[in-house]
Amino acid sequence: MPKITPKNNINTTNELRAVDFFCGGGGMSYGMMKAGINVIAGIDCEPKCRETYEANISGAEFIEADVFKLKPFYLKRKLNLEKNDNNLVLIGCSPCQFWSIINTEKKKSKKSKNLLKEFTRFVKYFNPGYVVVENVPGVLRQKEESGLKKFLEWLESNGYNVHFNVHNVSDYGVPQNRKRFTLIANRVSDVEILPLKIEGKRLTVRDVLGNTNGFPTISHGHDDNTPFLHKVMKLGEKNLERLIYVEKDGGNRFGFAAIPHLQLECFVGRDNSFRDTFGRIWWDRPSPTITTKFYNISNGRFVHPEENRALSLREGAVLQSFPKDYKFFGKGIDSIARIIGNAVPPAYARSIGLAIKQNADAVQN
């Protein structure tokens, strides 16, 4: 790595401390923590995330707050933050449904379209050493509407070196194809910081799931109330019959398309639409993107490669790169799956954190 030149008046004596806005169940916080960054707080308006966050992010405070109402000065006092702290990392991974290409109800997610603008208020107030933003690629495609264009202009005019691009998390130790917009900005050195890629081949489903990786064979509807949560949605009789005709290891709904009582009306004459629905994931590829509906076979390619069932909660979590002992809490499969699917994959977060830590260490040396 080339020698990094610190900018003038840089204080490099303190450890990196991070505040994770829109923290959810802690995917980003956990990855940052594993990179050696002290995560002091996670902020989210969803109380259902608290128990999961607090159970896994040791030493961090969960602050339940609506960012539209949250004041920077309140955060300054509560967390003992200072302005212009070169070792402060502000992270903003806001809910992204409004800018997603996935067909969501835009009216329900309309409020989320301004979350980047709200996060900008805190960046301007604290002027931290490091800023991280992770979101769907749609915020880059619609720079002006999402607030990204003005945010970039402010960062660059205030002395930040800014990296922003769309990355596939499968290049960073996550066994999943998931494209994410990522911005890493720093004002403590004169270099651009990029997430650190892993060396060697990308992880595949076979590397993390299956009997040899601690996932026993189970049937649909299997209940698991242990912390491992190898729990699966129960299928109706007809859906179970459909899966019998879906070829193992990557098959799709065309396996039952010619069987009249199994073919769905909505698919008749629409062979090029929703091709992944009822599809199996492949053993020797990274999985498709794990969404909040990965437990449901009619919401994407979420069928086990061999077994006639959807992915279990723990399988979805591992494909998101959560460790097998990560604790999840919720009232049902759907609530826990939402926490898992909405999370930043921890392995990807760690690659961002390691790049920041590497930069900070180089500045100190």
Prediction pTM value: 0.92
Report the sign of the C-alpha dihedral through residues 200, 284, 203, 211, in that order: negative
Q: How many independent structural domains does the chain possess? A: 1
pLDDT (0 to 100) of residue 140 = 85
pLDDT (0 to 100) of residue 143 = 82
Identify which of 32, 51, 50 has the alpha carbon closest to the alpha carbon of residue 40: 32
User: Along the chain (365 residues), what's the average pLDDT of each consecutive run of 10 residues?
Assistant: 46 78 97 98 96 97 95 97 97 68 48 78 97 91 85 96 97 97 96 95 97 98 97 96 96 89 78 81 98 96 98 98 98 96 97 97 86
Q: Is residue 72 part of a domain?
A: yes
Phi/psi at 331 (5° precision): -85, -10
pLDDT (0 to 100) of residue 108 = 46
**Which residues have a catalytic role annotated?**
96
Token output for 114: 């301004």
Q: Is residue 212 part of a domain?
A: no
Q: Is residue 268 part of a domain?
A: no
Q: Is residue 56 part of a domain?
A: yes
What CATH number does the domain containing 163 carry?
3.40.50.150
Can you list the pairs that 49-55 forms with residues at least 24 positions away whose Cβ atoms lie under 8 Å?
49/23, 49/24, 49/25, 49/339, 51/329, 52/25, 52/26, 52/327, 52/328, 52/329, 52/330, 52/339, 53/23, 53/24, 53/25, 53/26, 53/29, 55/327, 55/329
Range of the domain at 23: 17-199+344-364
Q: Is residue 112 part of a domain?
A: yes
SS3 18: strand
Q: What angle do CA 10, 14, 18 make, to 5 degrees?
A: 100
Q: Is residue 103 part of a domain?
A: yes
Taking the C-alpha atoms of residue 171 and residue 178, their distance in angstroms, rounded to an integer, is 10
Measured in Å, how far apart are the chain's first and last C-alpha atoms? Answer: 13
